[in-house]
Copies of this chain bind each other. A is one copy, B any other.
């Protein structure tokens, strides 16, 4: 019995191979009087395998009926292609129809809009573009783990369901097992005491606080998991469920944090260029013609590091007209960030030392008593890709910051414990995985780099 082989492997061969078996789906078929050419894709790579079927083959009348989207098994010999466009093709000795797709199959050979393909998200990975997106997604995930493992980081799993709100002001999804019809009480607290966890519980917006606990035990750790924001925003940059990478390092200051972020971005972009060129090539031809130049710029640039104050001065001095006013003390908007990285510096930049008033309680207060050790990494075309900080390791200052933020110290007793017992300087950041994928593929809508996006009013699939 011949074992099935994947097309990605067969196309890499240096020599013809007799007696092979492939299985996959028909992308297109062209018939002449004496031959049929069938393009088969099995998802293992972008390229199809061209199969040549001689009209003399038994069952040829069945083979003529094959439609786009049908599934087949093909036995034959892999030989040098007589046509142009491909190095190898299969001379079929037998073709079995596994299933015949009806003519209503939604992915006929023509261009479909991204909007339409979102309505059939369960089928779109069968197209060239989305197959490439999800193969790259898989490859970069691997590169993430490889990057951290080489550096001695431990991969950790922080809880998705949580009783605390890391950012202090997130828009949260509540998790409950209460029957909706039972929620008649107006006394919310007594209601939650009946709930599964005995108190209000939410989907996490960040694994950071838990990750800090493990960094202060194991040294260097990172998470790579789903996070959630219940933001009612229908933009091309927002989904309710997305994946984050969050490293956290004991004995690491803000400088070390910036260096790790820069290294990580460069490493992941280089890895993609080294390992996914076939798929990247599709994006640079059909999605963003400047893609490879953007990626090369990121890999070869030394990231500029400037304090927030200086960044604001540059914006104020620019003649550029922004929708949002720029001023010292207020947060930078996406348009400001993109102006700095795209127009002014024309390469990735790291902005650090933000005003404490616009940043969360856990960021380390600087000696000026006005700014905190925050840092954001901005890249062209995306804006903020990484947001991080050195964490406040001094118990008394942390408690004061929590008081100002109106947070209950009782709820965070365990977090404060880490500053009571053997506290050390430590730092970390979060990288939005979908934003990275948008950077690397040139795709401009976040819904198109995650298999089944979750957005307001939309939970199909």
Contact = CB atoms under 8 A, between A and B. Distances in A.
Nearest to A209: B461
A167 interface: no
A42 interface: yes
A442 to B, nearest CB: 20
A424 B101 CA distance: 11
A459 to B, nearest CB: 4
Interface in A170-202: 171-178, 180-181, 183-184, 186, 188, 191-192, 196-199, 201
Interface in A218-243: 218-219, 225-226, 228, 230, 232, 240-241, 243
A213 B461 CA distance: 9
Q: How large is the interface on A (under 10, 10 to 19, 20 to 34, 35 or more residues)?
A: 35 or more
Contact of A176 (B69, B163, B174): B174
A384 to B, nearest CB: 21
Contacts of A213: 122-123, 125, 451, 461
A171 B196 CA distance: 11
A16 B424 CA distance: 28
Contacts of A4: 251
Contact of A210 (B102, B105, B451, B457): B451
B43 A210 contact: no
Contact of A99 (B173, B188, B424, B458): B424
A210 B454 CA distance: 13
A165 to B, nearest CB: 13
A47 interface: no
A226 B421 contact: no
Contacts of A178: 174
Interface string A232-275: 10000000110100000011000000000000000000000000
B160 A226 contact: yes
A71 interface: yes
Contact of A459 (B6, B162, B461): B162
B160 A241 contact: yes
Nearest to A164: B461
Contacts of A101: 420-422
Contact of A457 (B160, B198, B458): B198
B142 A149 contact: yes
B188 A180 contact: yes
A212 B181 CA distance: 34
B417 A99 contact: no
Interface stretch (A133-141, A298-306, A352-360, A375-383): A133-141
Copies in the complex: 2
B122 A417 contact: yes
A266 to B, nearest CB: 20
A210 B124 CA distance: 13
Interface string A10-38: 00000000000001011000000000000
Of the listed residues A134, A181, A198, A219, the one surrounded by the most CB atoms of chain B closer than 10 A to its CB is A219
A214 interface: yes
Given A134-B214, A142-B155, A161 B71 contact: no
A236 to B, nearest CB: 19
A201 B459 contact: yes
A371 B152 CA distance: 48
A159 B98 contact: no
Given A161-B173, A183-B183, 5 more contacts: A44-B218, A123-B217, A123-B417, A158-B452, A161-B241
Ranked 9 nearest A-B pairs via Cβ = A183-B183, A125-B217, A43-B218, A43-B219, A138-B154, A197-B459, A122-B414, A163-B459, A122-B213
24 contacts: A8-B152, A42-B219, A43-B218, A44-B152, A69-B421, A98-B423, A99-B393, A122-B414, A122-B415, A123-B213, A123-B217, A131-B217, A137-B155, A138-B154, A157-B451, A159-B241, A160-B160, A173-B175, A174-B175, A175-B203, A196-B230, A197-B454, A210-B452, A213-B451
Interface of A: 4, 6, 8-9, 23, 25-26, 42-44, 69-71, 73, 98-99, 101-102, 105-107, 120-123, 125-126, 130-131, 134-135, 137-138, 141-142, 145, 149, 152, 154-163, 171-178, 180-181, 183-184, 186, 188, 191-192, 196-199, 201, 203, 210, 213-214, 216-219, 225-226, 228, 230, 232, 240-241, 243, 250-251, 393, 414-415, 417-418, 420-425, 450-452, 454, 456-461
